[in-house]
């Protein structure tokens, strides 16, 4: 909690011992009314007086100090004004000192956390839904790092199963021998879509794809070779996309490596008496008494299902990383029940790690015309979208800068285009479903990534143009314009925002904060000339500008977004 809020609380507490004031201390609706507000209603019963009267009396009793400048009574509210000069003296040098670390907390011991995200099927390219997943997973990883966690970014490739065999089957039957003539994961996806189209024509296709899976499981050489070849295409394509998005994984898991070990869990569960066999011989977990539907873990033909593999993987992660304090799964909300069941079974199995499992559920991404269906091909492709964004950004840049070099143009276009896309998806609370709006997603104005990046670029530009390069001594008392004090308060609250955002694994809180800060800065920019004659004011304002620059950069970094210095 920030120091000034604490000072106000201390002053309040002194006057009334034993009354809980922490939760009631809020912020007035309008900065002119003060920095903190205490509503006196709660004290009414205790003191048997009207709230207004209590406010009046408290205002007289509470002593002002260095941090607390003024107290005003407005009806039942007690409004506190902090000393803005002290605030600036506190906040701005701290940012200058901590630089890229401002906002991070290092108070407690470092812990190890795994974040699994993206986890694609290898039969089709990544789409919009994956983008939301990836942006969320990466940003949450960074937030956890800011809270002094060592994060292991993990990816789990669903690289075996009937769905994979469908692309294989279609390629084998209708595309034999062809080599990719486009990004290889897209090439693989085309065969999957073709299979979906053709499967309506004849029932035997579905059956033959299943036969292919059987051959794969039996280790048929030709099938395995085909699988290897097509999977490599898919992986090559994915890596290209991850590179473009700036994502790196520390650990990769492959379903094809572990699917056969799920059986061990079933054996163990039966032995422990936790899993049961039904009349047909299938093994299931009895979850009904825990308010969940029962879950089959082994089919009556003896084969495992997805849940079995997932259970094994959950365990494997803690074998690979025995010190994990938390294992996070970034997976869409349509699998909420799956994870409730998974975690419950792990608990019933008495796995020590069961309580360390956490499903970071996020809302579905729908298209204006409805749900995305990759089988039908109505998906927004991730690569296409990223490329489109860069193209649009390029156009904008070219309008502003005629003489820009080709490489610089490309780099900046990617920073801005990708920044816009990431911000568009991260500013919305991740738990909510969202409808992808093509027009809003490509906007560079309003509540967008480029809006925030632009504020940063303007800061950089001013710092470059400034006649003074060094800011040593600053008269903080000069920073008294309402636009200045508003920014300084915001800058001071950044560490609280980051901590809160990390605690709740909620990048949207950082995104919202950045919009507030960028807006506050833009207003300051219009009202307070920075580069000017008065050297003292110049220095003071330059310091504010540099702090805004630093905090925007730190904030965007947490979202995985770059901060170009020129736009």
Show contacts with RNA in window 110-139 (CB under 7 A): 121
Told to check if 495 binds RNA by CB under 7 A, we report no
Per-residue tokens: 53: 């009267």
x-marked contacts with RNA along 446-465 as a string, rule CB under 7 A: xxx-xx--x--xx-xxx--x
Name the one range near RNA by CB under 7 A: 102-110, 171-179, 239-247, 517-525: 517-525
Told to check if 515 binds RNA by CB under 7 A, we report yes
Q: Where are the alpha helices (DSSP H) in 147-183?
A: 162-174
Told to check if 435 binds RNA by CB under 7 A, we report yes
Show contacts with RNA in window 202-241 (CB under 7 A): none
Told to check if 526 binds RNA by CB under 7 A, we report yes
Sheet of strand 324-332, all strands in order from the earlier edge strand to the far edge: 251-254, 149-157, 111-116, 324-332, 357-362
Told to check if 37 binds RNA by CB under 7 A, we report yes
| CB-CB neighbours of 145 under 10 Å | 16
What totals of helices (H) and strands (E) does the chain contain, helices first?
Answer: 20, 13
Rounded to a whole number of angstroms, the minimum distance from the CB of residue 112 to RNA is 25
Nearer to RNA, 163 or 263 (CB): 163
Told to check if 18 binds RNA by CB under 7 A, we report no
Told to check if 79 binds RNA by CB under 7 A, we report yes
Query: Which residues on neighbouring strands pair with residue 324, listed in sequence order?
Result: 112
Told to check if 53 binds RNA by CB under 7 A, we report no
Name the one range near RNA by CB under 7 A: 109-117, 135-143, 267-275, 430-438: 430-438
Contacts of 297 (CB under 8 A, 6+ apart): 262, 265, 266, 269, 275, 283, 284, 285, 304, 305, 307, 308, 311, 345
Show contacts with RNA in window 343-372 (CB under 7 A): 363-364, 371
Told to check if 50 binds RNA by CB under 7 A, we report no
Per-residue tokens: 341: 């069941």
Name the one range near RNA by CB under 7 A: 13-21, 178-186, 424-432, 474-482: 424-432
Nearer to RNA, 262 or 324 (CB): 262
Tokens 């199995």, residue?
Answer: 349
Phi-psi region at 375: left, alpha or beta (left = phi > 0; alpha = psi -120 to 50): alpha
Nearer to RNA, 150 or 401 (CB): 401
Rounded to a whole number of angstroms, the minimum distance from the CB of residue 181 to RNA is 28
Nearer to RNA, 358 or 525 (CB): 525
Distance CA 218, CA 553 (A): 53
DSSP state of 359: E
Distance CA 356, CA 333 (A): 19
Q: Which of 48, 400, 406, 469 binds RNA (CB under 7 A)?
A: 400
Told to check if 295 binds RNA by CB under 7 A, we report yes
Q: Which of 9, 16, 33, 348 binds RNA (CB under 7 A)?
A: 33
Told to check if 525 binds RNA by CB under 7 A, we report yes
Angle between helices 406-426 and 535-559 (to 10 degrees): 70
Buried b (16+ CB within 10 A) or exposed e, 445-456: eebbbbbbbbbb
Distance CA 257, CA 263 (A): 13
Told to check if 537 binds RNA by CB under 7 A, we report no
# residues contacting RNA (CB under 7 A): 96
């Amino acid at each position: 909690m920030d120091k000034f809020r604490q000072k106000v609380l201390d002053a309040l507490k002194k006057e009334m011992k034993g009354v809980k004031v922490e939760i009631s201390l809020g912020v007035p609706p309008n900065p002119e009314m003060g920095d903190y507000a205490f509503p006196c209603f709660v004290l009414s019963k205790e003191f048997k007086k009207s709230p207004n009267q209590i406010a009046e009396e408290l205002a007289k009793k509470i002593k002002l100090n260095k941090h607390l400048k003024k107290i005003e009574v407005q009806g039942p509210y007690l409004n506190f004004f902090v000393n803005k000069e002290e605030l600036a003296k506190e906040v701005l040098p701290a940012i200058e000192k901590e630089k890229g670390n401002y906002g991070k907390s290092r108070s407690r011991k470092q812990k190890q956390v795994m974040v699994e995200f993206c986890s694609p099927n290898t039969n089709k390219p990544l789409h919009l839904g994956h983008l939301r997943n990836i942006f969320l997973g990466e940003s949450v990883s960074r937030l956890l790092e800011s809270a002094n966690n060592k994060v292991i970014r993990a990816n789990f490739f669903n690289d075996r199963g009937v769905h994979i065999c469908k692309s294989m089957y279609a390629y084998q039957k209708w595309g034999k021998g062809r080599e990719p003539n486009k990004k290889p994961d897209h090439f693989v996806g085309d065969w999957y879509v073709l299979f979906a189209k053709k499967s309506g024509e004849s029932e035997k296709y579905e059956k033959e794809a299943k036969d292919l899976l059987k051959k794969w499981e039996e280790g048929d050489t030709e099938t395995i070779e085909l699988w290897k070849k097509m999977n490599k295409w898919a992986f090559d394509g994915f890596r290209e996309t991850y590179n473009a998005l700036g994502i790196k994984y520390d650990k990769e898991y492959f379903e094809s490596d572990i699917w056969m070990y799920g059986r061990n869990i079933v054996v163990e569960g039966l032995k422990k008496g936790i899993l049961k066999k039904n009349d047909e011989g299938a093994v299931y977990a009895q979850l009904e008494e825990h308010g969940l539907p029962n879950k089959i873990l082994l089919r009556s033909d003896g084969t495992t299902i997805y849940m079995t593999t997932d259970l094994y993987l959950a365990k494997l992660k803690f074998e690979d990383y025995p010190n994990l304090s938390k294992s996070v799964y970034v997976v869409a909300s349509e699998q909420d029940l799956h994870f409730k069941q998974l975690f419950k079974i792990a608990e019933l199995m008495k796995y020590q790690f069961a309580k360390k499992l956490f499903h970071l559920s996020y809302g579905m991404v729908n298209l204006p015309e409805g749900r995305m269906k990759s089988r039908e091909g109505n998906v927004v492709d991730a690569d296409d979208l990223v490329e489109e964004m860069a193209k649009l950004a390029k156009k904008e840049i070219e309008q502003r800068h005629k003489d820009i070099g080709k490489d610089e143009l490309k780099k900046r276009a990617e920073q801005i285009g990708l920044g816009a896309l990431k911000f568009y998806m991260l500013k919305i609370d991740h738990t909510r479903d969202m409808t992808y709006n093509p027009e809003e997603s490509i906007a560079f104005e309003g509540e967008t990534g480029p809006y925030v990046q632009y504020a940063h670029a303007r800061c950089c530009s001013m710092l470059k143009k400034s006649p003074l390069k060094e800011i040593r001594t600053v008269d903080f008392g000069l920073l008294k314009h309402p636009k200045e004090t508003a920014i300084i308060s915001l800058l001071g609250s950044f560490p609280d925002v980051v901590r809160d955002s990390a605690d709740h694994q909620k990048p949207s809180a950082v995104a919202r904060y950045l919009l507030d800060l960028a807006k506050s800065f833009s207003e300051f920019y219009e009202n307070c000339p920075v580069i000017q004659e008065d050297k003292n004011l110049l220095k003071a304002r330059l310091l504010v500008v540099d702090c805004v620059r630093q905090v925007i950069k730190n904030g965007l970094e947490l979202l995985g977004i770059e901060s170009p210095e020129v736009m």
